[in-house]
A and B are shown apart, each in its own frame.
Chain A
Amino acid sequence: MEHIRAHVLICAGTGCVSSGSKKVEAAFQTELVKKGLDKEVKIIETGCHGFCEMGPLVIIYPEGTFYVRVQEADVADLVETHLYKGRIVERLLYKEPISHESIPSYNEISFYKKQMRYVLANCGHINPEEINEYITEGGYEALGKAITQMKPDQVVEEVKKSGLRGRGGGGFPTGMKWGFTAGAAGTKKYVVCNADEGDPGAFMDRSVLEGDPHRIIEGMAICGYAIGADEGYVYVRAEYPLAIKRLRVAIQQAEELGLLGENILGSGFNFKLKIKEGAGAFVCGEETALLASIEGKRGMPRPRPPFPAISGLWGKPTNINNVETFANVPQIITKGADWYASIGTERSKGTKVFALTGRINNTGLAEVPMGITMREIIYDIGGGIQGGKKFKAVQIGGPSGGCLPENKLDLSVDYDSLIQAGAMMGSGGLVVMDETTCMVDVAKFFLNFTQAESCGKCTPCREGTKRMLEILTRITEGEGREGDIELLESMAKNIKTTALCGLGQTAPNPVLSTLHYFRDEYEAHIKEKRCPAGACNNLLQYAIIDSCKGCGLCKKVCPAEAISGEKKEKHEIDLIKCIKCGACFGKCPFKSIVKS
């Protein structure tokens, strides 16, 4: 027998794999053998740490040294210097963007310092394909406790008391939902996990599935026990191959250990779990469309009521929750509802995982307590705006959410405050935008998305979003008309009140929130034919100013031959030939080309 003295944790989340972590892992294998350390150092593949910006990530324990952007070529040095001689390899440590200080330990990095990692506790910490690692960290204790020491209604009561609300978007109280399904008539019931994460820029569910799949299985099994279901489905999009693979491995391991299947831990409770791969239609994130898709029908929503709690999958009572919601359940059972309810605000309990993307320094996943301010998330955890630019807005809640301007940065991040401000929690995607982003263009982008994803069943969504998109396109092309804003507003209100499902009812939100906070930008486009952010190509003009030295670089790079002028004399742009590609703007060494 050998003693393992060091663990090398290599991130194998989708982000780090694409930046080369598999090659790094292979290099570790060879180097360790070469140095004769392969018997005392163990390599562990983990799920996502959330700090995808800095990948591939490697953490070496027992010191807990956090190495970032590790490449194949660095591995020999890490093995020789760190693992053989016990010295830290300074050059691979994370450097704080502002102080430029090297920080060796994981918990000291400002990206992690303000986080409260409960749902993500195991992500990046354990091997997701090894059930024993999950059990070592206390996994399946909650399921064991629930099915052997608690009655189903006690479990429902505990979840109610915790104040947990749905993490998929709407924020409906989870315990109440469980109670409805538990109380519904019928003996056959289902548990469904909605892992059809489709918001642009959102990847928290994928990371939990990849990094800690057993937590979802455990949460779903507890739910099954509470509501009286013996069968569950995870509806996960086919675009998440790694998540599906890890989940499949996890289900198999849980079955082998008897944690899924018949008579679990001798309690008499049976529960089996299946995976249904979705084909990637955004509307299938809507619960009734999702159920139709599991049944093998076309993924289209139907009017509610009846709600799935009464008549869901194959007409049976069904409880649907999102990935992150289920991931919250085990800790509520082990640590108790009171502990859970002590985190967060009065009406929004616990933590929320956000996916930080856009023009932000630290792209990645951050789990924070409810009630934190947007400013803390963006500046303290996210490290501020890229390139020192000015913050303009943050888009929260995906295509159903809204944009919040700078004066809302100190808003408490919880379900109710966000709704009040015209946005919503959504699944937790945060897209940060700087001064160069045009808000009309942003609204157009999201409407383009919902329009393309509209299933076409109801007219308000199918026709309404199309017409709204046409108006927005016209505005960004400089053909906006007097009255367009009012027309957009009235259509938005009509679609919101008449569309069949959540997709249509929330589709106008990005337009309404940008109109609310950035109306002047719309007006500039329509009345002055001007894009204040300089983003809408059709409203742009490039011009050469007097500081031009006549170097001729712009002339050379222009693909449309729109620039003329003699050497050492001021050049000119022919606005008719100009295609507004911006090549000259980027090339001019004297900053003599301006956008107007």
Chain B
Amino acid sequence: MKTIEDLKRLREELKTKNNLRHEGGTQIIVGMGTCGIAAGARQVMTAVLEEVAKRKLEDVKVCQTGCIGMCEKEVLLDVVRPGEPRITYGRVTPADVPKIIAEHVVNGRIIAELAVGKITE
């Protein structure tokens, strides 16, 4: 590095690398209860990770959760954007993932036909 600008640029490039260790950012939560796994949650998870990587969404946190009781509608996938309600999508397949990420995670548009619940905190 030759100048202070180089340091700033490096910092900017690295900025998101430790996001996982800080609070904040959009969360995508996959239901990984026994019911969810049986319904294909792991495949959905893999699809989410691939899509997030493809779009370089480095401030997105991909988390898991256990069974929330709506086993009928598994695989369940929640999207929580900061300051917005938690939206639950049901019967999600790997094929739905790119759409959910493009529409909701990136652009903030809830996909009504896939959504099965909304939790306002």
Shortest A43–chain B CB gap in Å is: 13
Residue B37 at the A interface, CB < 8 A? yes
Name B21-56 residues within 8 Å CB distance of A: 21, 27, 30, 32-33, 37, 42, 49-50, 52-54, 56
A144 to B32 Cα, complex, angstroms: 46
Known contacts A259-B1, A266-B4, A86 near B66 by CB under 8 Å? yes
B10 CB contacts on chain A under 8 angstroms: 132, 135
The 9 A-B residue pairs whose C-beta atoms are closest, nearest first, are A86-B64, A3-B53, A5-B62, A136-B14, A3-B52, A258-B1, A266-B3, A62-B61, A61-B20
A140 to B1 Cα, complex, angstroms: 12
A575 to B10 Cα, complex, angstroms: 75
Q: Could you tell me how many residues of chain B have their Cβ less than 8 Å away from some Cβ of chain A?
A: 35
Residue A332 at the B interface, CB < 8 A? no
Residue A87 at the B interface, CB < 8 A? yes
B56 CB contacts on chain A under 8 angstroms: 1
Q: In the complex the two chains form, is B49's CB within 8 Å of A5's CB?
A: yes
B14 CB contacts on chain A under 8 angstroms: 132, 135-136
B32 CB contacts on chain A under 8 angstroms: 84-87
Residue of B nearest to A64 (CB): B21
Residue A557 at the B interface, CB < 8 A? no
Residue of B nearest to A2 (CB): B53
Give residues in B with beta carbon < 8 Å to A.
1-4, 6-8, 10-11, 14-15, 17-18, 20-21, 27, 30, 32-33, 37, 42, 49-50, 52-54, 56-57, 60-66
A141 CB contacts on chain B under 8 angstroms: 7, 11
Known contacts A133-B18, A141-B11, A265 near B6 by CB under 8 Å? yes
Shortest A60–chain B CB gap in Å is: 10
Q: List 30 A-B contacts (CB under 8 A).
A: A2-B49, A3-B49, A3-B62, A5-B61, A9-B21, A40-B49, A61-B21, A62-B20, A62-B21, A62-B63, A84-B32, A84-B42, A85-B64, A86-B30, A86-B32, A86-B64, A86-B66, A126-B18, A133-B17, A135-B7, A135-B10, A136-B11, A136-B14, A137-B18, A138-B11, A144-B4, A265-B1, A265-B2, A265-B3, A266-B4
Known contacts A40-B49, A266-B4, A125 near B21 by CB under 8 Å? yes
A286 to B4 Cα, complex, angstroms: 37
A265 to B33 Cα, complex, angstroms: 52
